[in-house]
Amino acid sequence: MTSIPIQYNYSIVALSILIAIFASYTTIELVSIARNAVKTKKSKWLFAGAGTMGIGIWAMHFTGMIASGIGDMDLQLNVIATVISLIVAVIGSLIAFRFIIHNKVRISSLLLAGIIMGLSIASMHYIGMYAVEYNLYMDHHLSIFLLSILMAIIGSLIALTIFSRVSHKNLYIYQLPIALILGMTISSMHYVAMASYTLYNKPHLHTSIFYDLTFSIDSNLMINSLIVSYAIIFTITYTITLRNKRIQYQMYEMAFHDPLTALPNRYLLDHHFHKTLQKSKEKTETFAVLFLDLDNFKHVNDSYGHEIGDLFLQQIAETLTLILEERAIICRHGGDEFVVLAKKTDKQTALQLAEEIREEFQLPIRIDGHNIASSFSIGGVSLYPDDGLDMETLIRAADQAMYAAKNNGKNNFHMANS
């Protein structure tokens, strides 16, 4: 018997690889959402991810079959075998992802996930091969057959290990590399597995081992359908991702920013303070804390109303942001009080900063037709490590200095411990 070489259509080969990578990329996004979702919604996102992965493996396989030219332009597919191959891919993906969606994944869980994912990819391929009916005799090479399965397991293990070790915040950096590894694993497994077959042109109908229930599908129609389907899946996934990111951003803003002025609140100040403190200790640097209190703000509220008072505070916050730019972090500490955290700042620089703020608010601020006088009593200027080694001590020192500034006639600043 003379063997028949498989002659690939390389443009369709490239398409099959892109389908696998695209499916992997979309799946990673959905499984990442599942990993960070509340318990009641975790399963929903996990099923969506497993379904996308399973369909992606399935789609890559049959596109690869079309690329090989086996079956010419019409594929005769056994219904039962085709459905089973898809179910195997989806369930295998689902089980594998369940092992890795926890915050801390054990090595044993990773190994199981990699083995299950790899076996599901391989099983989908070999069951899928039996779903196709054609007039050829096929011989298998055991060593290449085993190599294809090993490749699927190792590639899956690498991709899932990277995914499990990457935080949600940094996923955007690694998402494409993970998708490339997983997509190339699926594709490589398929084409190496195809190399394990030797085809002979012999009057021998390769038929499915399953019940004889077949259907015929045009190859071009199948490819076009896959492209349209994945375009729809991508659009839906991208829309969901944008919505989730927008919700996360809104929650972050609500948790760490003042709703009136949009300045950082005490919680975010605490975060920035500890980062600044750590860096200052490592590099033996100083930083300053300024405590700002608006003079006569109660008079503004009493005279013009709370609505004007709110607009006044918003204008104050915008002006402070413009003055300080990248030099410091401004926080609304409460009511008419603001805290400024100035990094890499010595005593002289801190005093200059306080003077800049004081000078900027010498002129009235015009709000809704009213010229409202503005001035600050600036306490502070407490320095790390001279005036304290923690946030509470430094703010307390700056607060006490602020009251000293008020007692000295307001509209001025006062150094802590001076």
Domain architecture of the chain: domains with CATH: 3-255 (no CATH), 266-415 (3.30.70.270)
Quote the pLDDT of residue 97: 94
Centre a 10 Å sphere on the Cβ of residue 320 and count the other Cβ atoms it contains.
21
pTM over 0.85: no
Quote the pLDDT of residue 181: 96
Quote the pLDDT of residue 74: 52
Q: Which of 397, 391, 394 is nearest to 416 (CA)?
A: 397
Question: Which strand (E) or helix (H) includes residue 383?
Answer: strand 376-384
Pairwise CA distance, residues 36 & 31, whole Å: 9
CA atoms within 13 A on the CB side of 242: 6
pLDDT per position in the chain (418 positions), as tens? 566 677 888 888 998 999 999 899 989 988 988 888 877 888 888 998 999 999 899 889 888 888 887 655 455 677 788 889 999 999 999 999 999 887 678 899 999 999 999 999 999 998 988 777 666 666 778 899 899 999 999 999 999 999 988 877 788 789 899 999 999 999 999 999 988 877 766 555 444 444 455 545 555 666 666 666 767 776 777 777 777 777 777 777 788 888 888 898 888 888 888 888 888 777 777 888 888 888 778 888 888 888 998 998 999 899 888 888 778 888 898 888 888 888 877 778 888 888 888 888 888 888 888 888 877 767 665 566 766 777 777 777 777 777 777 777 666 666 666 5
> Could you tell me how far CA 247 lies from the centroid of its own chain?
13
Question: Which strand (E) or helix (H) includes residue 332?
Answer: strand 328-334
Specify the pairing of strand 137-140 against strand 214-218: unpaired
Pairwise CA distance, residues 374 & 306, whole Å: 16
Pairwise CA distance, residues 381 & 103, whole Å: 42
Pairwise CA distance, residues 62 & 173, whole Å: 31
Contact in structure between 5 and 212 (CB atoms under 8 Å): no
